A and B are shown apart, each in its own frame.
Chain A
Amino acid sequence: MKKLIQLKNLTKEYGGQVVLKGINLDIHENEFLTLLGPSGCGKTTTLRIIGGFEEKSGGDVLFDDVDISSLPPYKREINTVFQKYALFPHMNVFQNIAFGLNLKKIDHSIVEQKVTKTLKLVGLSGFEKRAIDQLSGGQQQRVAIARALINEPKVLLLDEPLGALDLKLRKEMQLELKKIQKEVGITFIYVTHDQEEALTMSDTIVIMNDGMIQQIGSPTDIYNEPENRFVAQFIGDSNIVEGVMLKDYLVKFDGQEFDCVDYGFDDNEEVDVVLRPEDLDIVELGQGKMSGEVETIIFKGVHYEITVRCENRHYLIHTTDYVEVGKKVDLNFYPEDIHVMYKMGTY
């Protein structure tokens, strides 16, 4: 896929405070890319610099290989869906959506046609004459998306657009956004702090923390092969254990040596090891790799969340099988369930 936007060593300072510490990122055509991270990690700032609402302090922003950092927002082929929608309260749905086209002095009949088509795309056919304050949050959200998409931008920026919606609606909109993105076939850059949202929708996830990119990868890569402790903790639940990589395919933690599938570390390098709770199995005593005692069990609907106290630490396990508190059990896992990561700071 062709590179559409390239961020090269992008930095941003606010009054002496560095919020972006050199972002390098390639965003491709037709990609659903999510900037994911805790609040204050710099994801929104990155988005606003791409949109033209914020000036960079250093580095380059290339769009189709052309530097756009000095272009004002109204000259960029990029449209934005704002966090609180930012719909114009003095205009109805039609006028809001037609705003961009009317500025371009496009013929009224064509505008009308396009608005109808776009409203259909976002599932709001027949809402043309509604006032904005007559719409629910979800409907306003759809109008905001329609208003941006109708201009046929090459890139759509979305700044936590689902944050104000309730859980059920949010899940619906996640699927819908993904569907819309496939239908219109343009690049979406999506900002969120919700890891589940990111996993559901994205082609590529960019995990950010403290003004730096921690990892770039597909949802499965990010989940299965987190590159450091931060990523592992931020995405899903995990057991993170300090260990030593004795040599390729052999790691030692909790006083035992385990076969694994990781390689390429220095011999005897100190590492962090991730064991996902759903990869750990509870088996009868003597049949697993580690022994312990069941300490708590919480019913979570689909699965039980169990903590097992082992010799060195507590392990978190997700399983659909019930075990009694206090029972002595073994934990079992396979070499491919062990994910070895570089220690934070050495990455």
Chain B
Amino acid sequence: MKQYKKLVIPYIGWLLLFTLLPMLMIALYAFTDGTGEGGAMMFSFTLSNFTKFFDPVFVKVLFKSFVLGVITTVICLALGYPVAYLISKCKERTQTLLILLITIPTWINMLIRTYAWISILGSNGIINNMLSAVNLPPATLLYTDFAVVLGMVYNFLPFMILPIHTALTKMDPSLNEAAMDLGATPLQTFWKVTFRLSLSGVLTGITMVFLPSISTFMIPKLLGGGQYALIGNFIEQQFIQIGDWSFGSAVSMILAVIVILMMAGVSKIEKYTGQDQEETHSDKKSKILN
């Protein structure tokens, strides 16, 4: 066994070099000022990058990113869960095929797929052409919140479906039979057993959709129009256009901390739903007895 343990070293090296080091550098930029042109030794410690962010204009951007992120996640869940559930009820071969069909679009570059939406939603796009063909007034679809959410749902939906589908197929079908056997109607069986046991997949899905949707800058840039700013675009601007790496890093860190807190909250939900009133009830009792 010992000789195999050494195989882990390259991975640790990889993590240190490409995950930990960049994060430390972001932290370094965030807590210092100066451009770093005079070399690393010229940095001096400051919190001004963080205080600068708490300007209503910037906070509004952050807030809007979260609102759109939550909307996207909710829509993905509402669309993705039924799809994952129905797929998991199919025969194994059909399941493989359907999962493949859901995955195939992700093989194509996301940029191209998002561009495709521009030609669908644009003022001379497919939808507006169809509307004018039946003598209806044109609709403004592109460069709206709707377009951004649509683009995000479209791009991230597979990441909701896949983990839920995995959780559902891992479930022992005899658990459903047991619930029915004990008197649960199909709806009760779904709610008390199937859904509860697929929660881990749901939470993974939520994480995998919510994280990219609050930090994406490409989709709002293409479908939301150039001036349209979400927090991802804001960070991108700081790095690429304005060149204020310190401020950009600080905003990244604020975003990361909020996301970590939210994810911690979500995993709390999972633990909470694992328990039931019964347990808390008897817990209280035993505490009194003790």
Q: Which chain A residues in 110-164 approach chain B with CB under 8 Å?
A: 128-129, 147-148, 151
- Going nearest first, the 6 A-B pairs with the smallest beta carbon separation are A100-B182, A86-B178, A86-B174, A73-B180, A80-B181, A103-B183
Query: Are B177 and A95 closer than 8 Å at their CB atoms?
Result: no
Query: Are B282 and A94 closer than 8 Å at their CB atoms?
Result: yes
The residues of A with any CB-CB pair to B shorter than 8 Å are 51-53, 72-74, 78-80, 82-84, 86-92, 94-95, 98-100, 103-104, 108, 128-129, 147-148, 151
Query: Are B197 and A90 closer than 8 Å at their CB atoms?
Result: yes
B196: A residues at CB distance < 8 A: 90
Residue of B nearest to A53 (CB): B177
Residue of B nearest to A51 (CB): B181
Q: Which chain B residues in 254-288 approach chain A with CB under 8 Å?
A: 273-274, 276, 278-279, 281-282
Known pairs A95-B279, A151-B182, A151-B183; A89 contacts B174 (CB<8 A): no
The count of A-to-B residue pairs whose CB atoms sit within 8 angstroms is: 75
Query: Are B183 and A95 closer than 8 Å at their CB atoms?
Result: no
Query: Are A80 and B178 closer than 8 Å at their CB atoms?
Result: yes
Query: Are A82 and B178 closer than 8 Å at their CB atoms?
Result: yes
Query: Are B182 and A82 closer than 8 Å at their CB atoms?
Result: no
Query: Are A88 and B278 closer than 8 Å at their CB atoms?
Result: no
Given contacts A82-B178, A86-B175, A87-B178, 5 further A-B contacts (CB under 8 A): A74-B182, A83-B174, A88-B175, A90-B197, A90-B274
Query: Are B276 and A95 closer than 8 Å at their CB atoms?
Result: yes
Q: Which of B182, B197, B276, B279 is the one whose CB lies under 8 Å from A89?
A: B197
- Report the Cα distance A88→B195, complex, angstroms: 12
B193 at the interface (CB under 8 A from A): yes
A86: B residues at CB distance < 8 A: 172, 174-175, 177-178
B182: A residues at CB distance < 8 A: 74, 79, 99-100, 103, 147-148, 151
Q: Which chain B residues in 161-191 approach chain A with CB under 8 Å?
A: 172, 174-175, 177-185, 188
Known pairs A84-B174, A90-B274, A103-B188; A129 contacts B181 (CB<8 A): no
Q: Which chain B residues in 103-132 approach chain A with CB under 8 Å?
A: none
The residues of B with any CB-CB pair to A shorter than 8 Å are 172, 174-175, 177-185, 188, 192-193, 196-197, 273-274, 276, 278-279, 281-282
B185: A residues at CB distance < 8 A: 74
- Report the Cα distance A226→B58, complex, angstroms: 88
Q: Which of A82, A87, A89, A103 is the one whose CB lies under 8 Å from B177?
A: A82
Query: Are A74 and B193 closer than 8 Å at their CB atoms?
Result: no
Q: How far is the CB of B6 from chain A (nearest CB, A)?
A: 34
Residue of B nearest to A108 (CB): B281
Give the residue among B183, B185, B196 with the most A Cβ atoms within 10 A.
Answer: B183
Query: Are A84 and B180 closer than 8 Å at their CB atoms?
Result: no
B174: A residues at CB distance < 8 A: 82-84, 86
Between A and B, 28 residue pairs with Cβ closer than 8 Å are: A51-B181, A52-B181, A53-B177, A73-B181, A74-B181, A79-B182, A80-B178, A82-B174, A82-B178, A84-B172, A86-B177, A88-B175, A88-B178, A88-B179, A88-B197, A90-B197, A92-B278, A92-B279, A94-B278, A95-B276, A98-B278, A99-B179, A99-B192, A103-B183, A103-B188, A128-B282, A129-B279, A129-B282
A80: B residues at CB distance < 8 A: 177-178, 181
Residue of A nearest to B279 (CB): A92
Q: How far is the CB of B52 from chain A (nearest CB, A)?
A: 46
Residue of A nearest to B276 (CB): A95
Residue of B nearest to A102 (CB): B278
- Report the Cα distance A100→B172, complex, angstroms: 19
Query: Are B178 and A74 closer than 8 Å at their CB atoms?
Result: no
Residue of A nearest to B281 (CB): A108
Residue of B nearest to A98 (CB): B278
Q: How far is the CB of A315 from chain B (nearest CB, A)?
A: 46
A73: B residues at CB distance < 8 A: 177, 180-181
Query: Are B183 and A72 closer than 8 Å at their CB atoms?
Result: no
A91: B residues at CB distance < 8 A: 276
- Report the Cα distance A94→B280, complex, angstroms: 12
A98: B residues at CB distance < 8 A: 278
B178: A residues at CB distance < 8 A: 80, 82, 86-88, 147
- Report the Cα distance A87→B181, complex, angstroms: 12
Q: Which of A78, A88, A94, A128 is the one whose CB lies under 8 Å from B193?
A: A88
Q: How far is the CB of B271 from chain A (nearest CB, A)?
A: 11
Q: Which of A82, A95, A100 is the one whose CB lies under 8 Å from B278?
A: A95
Query: Are B180 and A72 closer than 8 Å at their CB atoms?
Result: yes
- Report the Cα distance A191→B188, complex, angstroms: 29
Q: How far is the CB of A224 from chain B (nearest CB, A)?
A: 37
- Report the Cα distance A104→B178, complex, angstroms: 16
Q: How far is the CB of A101 from chain B (nearest CB, A)?
A: 9
